[in-house]
Structure 1
Amino acid sequence: MLAVVDSLRTRNVGGLYTRAIANAIDYVLDGPRTGRYDLLAPDVHPGEKASVGAKLEYEVLRSFGLPKEPPLDTLIADVPVDIKATVGSNWSIPAEAQCQVCICTQIQLGKSRHRSWLVRAHRSWLYRGAGNRDGKRGLAVHARDNWSFPLYDWTPLPVNPLTLLTPEQAGQVLAEKPGQEPRLTMMFQFLAGHVIPRSVLSTVGAGKHDPLRRARNVRASLERGGLTLLCGKFPEQRDIAAAHKITLGPEDWIALRMDGEHSSAG
Structure 2
Amino acid sequence: MLLAPGEDTDAQAVLEWLRAFDVAGLYTRAIANAIDYVLDGARTGRYDLLSPAVHPGERASVGAKLEYEVLRSFSLPKEPPLDTTIAKVPVDIKATVGANWAIPSEAHCQLCICTQVQLKHGRHRSWLVRAHRSWLYRGKGNKDGKRGLAVDAREQWSIPLYDWTPLPVNPLTLLTEEQAARIMAKRPGQEHRFAMMFRYLEGHVIPRSVISTVGAGRLDPLRRARNIRKHLAKDGLTLLCGKWRDQQDLAAAHKIALGAEDWVALRLEEGHAHGG
Written as runs of structure 1 = structure 2, the 5 A alignment for 1:1-266 is: 1-128=11-138, 132-266=142-276
Q: Deviations over 1:75-111 (max 9, x none)?
A: 0001000000000110000000010000000000011
Q: Describe the shift of the 1:161–1:261 C-alpha distance in structure 2 as closer, same or farther (beyond 3 A).
A: farther
- C-alpha contact 1:37 1:162 (8 A) present in aligned 2: yes
Displacement of 1:152 in angstroms is 0.3
Following the alignment from structure 2 to structure 1, what is the Cα–Cα distance between the partners of residues 138 and 48? 32
SS of the residue 1:194 aligns to: coil
- The code of the aligned residue for 1:253 comes to W
Q: Deviations over 1:8-40 (max 9, x none)?
A: 111110000000000000000000000000000
- C-alpha contact 2:202 2:264 (8 A) present in aligned 1: yes
Displacement of 1:129 in angstroms is 7.4
Following the alignment from structure 1 to structure 2, what is the Cα–Cα distance between the partners of residues 94 and 86? 14
Following the alignment from structure 1 to structure 2, what is the Cα–Cα distance between the partners of residues 66 and 20? 13
- C-alpha contact 2:205 2:262 (8 A) present in aligned 1: yes
Q: Describe the shift of the 1:47–1:109 C-alpha distance in structure 2 as closer, same or farther (beyond 3 A).
A: same
Displacement of 1:131 in angstroms is 7.1
% identity of equivalent residues: 74
SS of the residue 1:36 aligns to: coil
Following the alignment from structure 2 to structure 1, what is the Cα–Cα distance between the partners of residues 53 and 139? 27
- C-alpha contact 1:28 1:52 (8 A) present in aligned 2: yes
Provide TM-score, normalisation by structure 2: 0.94
Q: Which one is further off, 256-265 or 208-217? A: 256-265
Q: Number of residue pairs matched?
A: 266
Displacement of 1:264 in angstroms is 2.5
Stretches of structure 2 that go unaligned for 5 or more consecutive residues are 1-10
The alignment yields a C-alpha RMSD, in angstroms, of 1.1
Q: Deviations over 1:100-135 (max 9, x none)?
A: 000000000011100000000000000157972211
- The code of the aligned residue for 2:18 comes to L
Residue number in structure 1 paired with 2:7? none
SS of the residue 2:70 aligns to: helix
